Structure 1
Amino acid sequence: MLHPRRSAQEVLLCDLCETVPLQSHCEVCNINLCVNCVGKHISDSSKDHNVVPYLRRKSPNYSKCPTHPDKHCEHYCEKCEIPVCSTCALYGKHKGHDVSDIQEKLSAKTESLQKDLEELETRIYPRYEEMASDVQTEKAELETKYGKLTTTTDQQGEILHREITAIVNQRKSAIAEMKNKHLSTLNKNTEEITQKMAELKQIMSDLKSILKSNDVSLTSTYKSRNFEFRTLLPKVRVTVPSLSAQKINKDQLNEMFGSLSPLSINTKHGDTMKSAEAVSSPPVKPLLHEPRVTATIDTGYNRYELTSVSCLSEDQVWTCSQLNNTMKLLNLQSELLTSIQTKSGYAPWDITVTRDRDLVYTDNIDRTVNLIKNKQIQTVITLQGWYPLNVCSTASDDLLVTMISDDGEQSKVVRYSGSTEKQSIQFDDQGRPLYSSDYNYKYLSENKNLDICVADYTASAVVVVNQSGKLRFRYTGHPSNTEQSFTPAGITTDSQSHILTADFDNHRIHILDQDGQFLRYIHCDLDTPWGLCMDIRDNLFVAEYNTAKVKKIQYL
Structure 2
Amino acid sequence: MSEPSDEQAAMQHYLVCGTEDCQKNGQFYCNACHRPLCEQCKDKHQKSPNTQNHEIVLYRHRKHQLPVELCQDHPTRNKELFCRECSIPLCSKCSIMKEHKGHDIDDLEEIYTGKYAVWQGEFSKIQKYFLPTTNDLKSDIEEDVTEIKKIMKSFRASIKAEAESLKNLVDEVTSESIENTHTMEKSLLKMLKSQETTYDDYITYLWKMSDEFQEYLSITNKKLLFTKTLKIQPIPETTKPVPPEFIAGRFSKNDITKLLGKVSVPNRKPEKRKIQPMEAESAHMKSTEKQLEQSKEKSDMKQTLSLSSSVTKVREYSVPGVDCAYHVSVDKSGRLWVSDSKGNLVQTDLQGNLLQKMQTSGGFEGYHTATRDGDLIYTDQNKKVIYRITQDRKITEFIKTGDWKPISIHSSRINGDILVGMYKDEETKVTRYNKAGKEIQHIQRDNQGKELYKYPHYITENINGDICTSDINNEKVVVVNKSGQHRFSYTGQGSRFCPYGICTDAIGHILVCDGISNTVHLLDQDGGFLSVILSSQQGIKSSRGVCVDDENNLHVGQFLTNTVTVYKYLQ
- Structure 1 555/366 Cα, relative in aligned 2: closer, same or farther at 3 Å? same
Distance change in 2, residues 1:204/1:432 (3 Å) = same
Q: Size of the alignment, in residue pairs?
A: 344
Residue identity opposite 2:314 in structure 1: T
Amino acid of the structure 1 residue aligned with 2:549: D
1:246-267 alpha-carbon deviations (Å, 9 max, x no partner): xxxxxxx88x44554575879x
The superposition leaves residues 462-519 of structure 1 with CA deviations (integer Å, 9 ceiling, x where unpaired) of 11111111111111113xx33xx11100100001101111112211111111111111
- Residue from 489, 506, 528 that aligns with 2:500: 489
Q: 1:174 to 1:529 in 2, by over 3 A?
A: closer
Structure-to-structure mapping, 1:38-437, within 5 angstroms: 194=173, 197-198=176-177, 200-211=179-190, 214=193, 256-259=275-278, 260=280, 277=297, 281-301=301-321, 303=323, 305-312=324-331, 316-331=335-350, 333-336=351-354, 338-342=355-359, 346-347=361-362, 350-373=367-390, 374-394=392-412, 395-405=414-424, 407-436=425-454
Contact 2:322 2:339 in 1 (8 A): no
Partner of 1:27: none
Contact 2:337 2:348 in 1 (8 A): yes
CA contact (8 A) 2:431 2:439 kept: no
Residues 298-352 of structure 1: CA deviation (Å, up to 9, x unaligned): 113454x421111135863221223144422132x3332x11325xx64576221
CA 1:380 to 1:287, structure 2 compared with 1: closer, same or farther past 3 Å? same
Which residue in the other structure is 1:546 paired with? 560
1:462 maps to 2:462: no
Structure 2 counterpart of 1:486, one-letter code: F
2:345, 2:185 → 1: CA distance? Answer: 92
Aligned partner of residue 384 in structure 1, secondary structure = coil
Residue in 2 aligned with 1:499? 510
Q: Distance in 2 between matches of 1:370 and 1:182?
A: 46
Structure 2 gap segments, 5+ residues each: 1-139, 198-240, 242-255, 265-272
Q: Does 1:473 align with 2:496?
A: no
Counterparts of 1:174 and 1:533 in 2: how far apart (Å)? 51
**Pair 1:242–1:460, CA change in 2 (3 A):** farther
Go from structure 1 to structure 2 and tell me whether the alpha carbon gap of 1:173 and 1:430 turns closer, same or farther (over 3 Å shift).
closer
Write the letter of the residue equivalent to 1:466. Answer: N
Match of 2:524 among 499, 505, 513: 513
Question: Which residue identity lines up with residue 306 of structure 1 in the other structure?
Answer: A
Letter in 2 for 1:552: V
Alpha carbons of structure 1 residues 473 and 185: separation in structure 2 relative to 1, 3 Å: same
Higher relative contact order (CA 8 A, sep 6+): 2
1 CA distance for matches of 2:334 and 2:298?
29
RMSD: 4.5
Q: Is contact 1:387–1:404 with CA below 8 Å preserved after alignment?
A: yes
Work out whether residues 446 and 453 of structure 1, in 8 Å CA contact, stay in contact via their aligned partners in 2: yes
Aligned-pair identity (%)? 26
- Greater C-alpha Rg: 2
Choose from 420, 429, 445 the match for 2:460: 445
Which amino acid is 2:512 matched to? T
Distance 1:301 1:177 in 2: 60
What letter corresponds to residue 409 of structure 1 in structure 2? E
Inter-partner Cα distance in structure 1 for 2:167 and 2:539: 87
Deviations 1:163-202 (CA, angstroms, capped at 9, x unpaired): x99xx99x99999999899979987996797477435413
Deviations 1:249-295, CA, capped at 9 Å, x for gaps: xxxx88x44554575879xxxxxxxxx94895322433233323221
Structure 2 CA distance, aligned partners of 1:515 and 1:361?
Answer: 29
Q: What is the alpha-carbon distance in structure 2 between the residues aligned to residue 172 and residue 369 of structure 1?
A: 34
Query: Secondary structure at 2:516's aligned position in 1?
Result: helix
- Contact 1:362–1:389 (Cα < 8 Å) also in 2: yes
Aligned counterpart in structure 2 of residue 528 of structure 1, from 542, 545, 569: 542
Task: Give the residue type in structure 1 aligned to 2:411.
Answer: S
Query: What residue identity is the alignment partner of 1:372?
Result: I
- Give the secondary-structure state (helix, strand or coil) at the position aligned to 1:516: coil
Structure 1 residues 284, 426: CA separation in 2 closer, same or farther (over 3 Å shift)? Answer: farther
User: Letter of the aligned partner of 1:448 in structure 2?
Assistant: I
Residue 362 (structure 1) shift: 1.7
Matched letter for residue 522 of structure 2: I
Counterpart of 1:357, as a letter, is G
Cα distance in 2 for residues equivalent to 1:181 and 1:309: 59
Q: SS in structure 2 opposite 1:201? A: helix
Aligned to 2:569: 555
Task: Provide the TM-score with structure 2 as the length reference.
Answer: 0.52
Give the distance between the partners of 1:487 and 1:427, measured in 2 at CA. 22
For structure 1, the 5+ residue unaligned runs are 1-160, 223-235, 244-252, 267-275
CA separation in 2, counterparts of 1:172 and 1:489? 45
1:537 aligns with 2:551: yes
The equivalent residue for 2:113 is: none
Task: Tell me if structure 2 keeps the 8 A contact 1:541–1:551.
Answer: yes
Amino acid of the structure 1 residue aligned with 2:509? H
Question: Is the 8 Å Cα contact of residues 505 and 528 (structure 1) preserved in structure 2?
Answer: no
